[in-house]
């Protein structure tokens, strides 16, 4: 199975600070169809996950543009340009290029 390693596991930030989360894959996530099926989700406390980014860098519907995704192959990054209070929670990356789909262990974003 593909292992996704997220760093850091805990991220402390102040409101307005820009932060980044890394997601490294044990295998290339570039599919034979040319797409890279790497996604980012946010799970706020007590809620279900919400998709933020799809196919590495595409912003999900209704997601603020302070979120951005980048990367290729095995290295991917989620950036939040100016953290807001509503951004607190656990961030997960997920790959759907190789079966079974796998998630990273999560990065908890908390207020400093």
Partner 1 sequence: QIQLVQSGPELKKPGESVKISCKASGYTFTDYAMHWVKQAPGKGLKWMGWINTYTGKPTYADDFKGRFVFSLEASASTANLQISNLKNEDTATYFCARRGGMDAWGQGASVTVSS
Give me the residues that bind partner 1 (CB under 8 A), please: 37, 39, 41, 43, 48-51, 54-55, 60-61, 90, 92, 94, 96, 99-106
Query: Is 93 in contact with 6 (CB distance < 8 Å)?
Result: yes
Least distance between partner 1 and beta carbon 81 (Å): 23
**CA 29-56-94 angle, 5° bins:** 65
Least distance between partner 1 and beta carbon 105 (Å): 5
Question: Closer to partner 1 at the Cβ: 12 or 58?
Answer: 58
């Amino acid at each position: 199975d593909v292992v996704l390693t997220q760093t850091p596991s805990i991220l402390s930030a102040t409101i307005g600070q820009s932060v980044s989360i890394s997601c490294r894959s044990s295998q290339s996530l570039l599919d034979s169809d040319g797409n890279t099926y790497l996604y980012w989700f946010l799970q706020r406390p007590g809620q279900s996950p919400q998709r933020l980014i799809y196919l590495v860098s595409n912003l999900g519907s209704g997601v603020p543009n302070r979120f951005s995704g980048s990367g290729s192959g095995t290295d991917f990054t989620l950036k939040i340009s100016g953290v807001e209070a509503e951004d607190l929670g656990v961030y997960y990356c997920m790959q759907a290029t190789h079966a079974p789909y796998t998630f990273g262990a999560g990065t908890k974003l908390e207020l400093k």
